[in-house]
Amino acid sequence: MSFADVSSPRRPAVYIYRYAGKPFTHFDKSGDTQLYTSRDLVFGELRLARPLLANLKGLPSIQPLSFRFTDGVHVITHRSRRFDREQVFRFNTDVTGSITEWTVQLHMTDSNGRSYEIETIRDLRAGRSFDIGGVFHRHSASDGRFCCGVREYVDGDATGSCGTWIFAREFPRASTGLISRAMRRFQSRSAAPTQLPF
């Protein structure tokens, strides 16, 4: 029996882009409640079927396989329900395919009428660079309260004041085959899986 008979081919790679912002510095609170503090920030990841092309301009839209973002208080993922508008993922890249500008906007509403938003934007042409996490609770048609944390960045700052994107590539393991199953059992004993910190 050959190796080909007992092991299955690898599935396509998944391309992962992780974003890490910097702690919020400006805050709005609802009444006496302040949800966000200087310990909170925007952090998350996108998983794509293929890497971003080099030299993307004009912030073209992309559609991730999955996403997961947090603002330190709430989490929004591709599995979240009750999205109240289209989720936005737009990117520019340099000659190496590294992300240089971006717009990520995530919004959802829960069953109690609270609206949540997580955004990270670096759009030099529009002069906007910031991260924000927030929750809006409408008490009536004319009354609502908003809590948020914001980190504004200086556009064009060569010292790297903005949040950063890191690229990684993941090769999913084969799902069938005697050899691949044995390897998974061995690897599960020898190393703990890497997980996002939320």
Q: What is the pLDDT of residue 194?
A: 39
123 is a domain residue? yes
List residues bridging with 178 in a β-sheet. Answer: none
Average pLDDT score over residue span 150-158: 69
Are 20 and 164 in contact, with CB atoms under 8 Å apart? yes
125 is a domain residue? yes
Average pLDDT score over residue span 35-46: 93
196 is a domain residue? no
Are 71 and 149 in contact, with CB atoms under 8 Å apart? yes
Q: What is the pLDDT of residue 86?
A: 82
Q: What is the pLDDT of residue 4?
A: 44
Average pLDDT score over residue span 187-192: 44
179 is a domain residue? no
197 is a domain residue? no
Average pLDDT score over residue span 142-165: 71
The mean-pLDDT minimum among 18-22, 68-72, 92-96, 150-154 falls in 150-154
Rounded to 5, what percent of the chain is helix, strand, coil? 10, 45, 50
User: Hunting for tokens 């109240």 — which residue is that?
Assistant: 84
Cα distance between the two ends of the chain: 45
Name the residue type at position 63. Q
Number of separate domains in the chain: 1
pLDDT in tens, 127-146: 889 999 998 875 544 455 67
Residue 40 structural domain: 11-173
Q: What is the pLDDT of residue 144?
A: 56
Q: What is the pLDDT of residue 141?
A: 47
The mean-pLDDT minimum among 36-50, 70-84, 98-112, 182-196 falls in 182-196
6 is a domain residue? no
Are 126 and 8 in contact, with CB atoms under 8 Å apart? no
Query: Looking at the predicted structure, is the pLDDT value of residue 160 above 80?
Result: no
pTM score, two decimals? 0.76
Q: Where are the alpha helices (DSSP H) in the chain?
A: 3-6, 178-190
182 is a domain residue? no
164 is a domain residue? yes
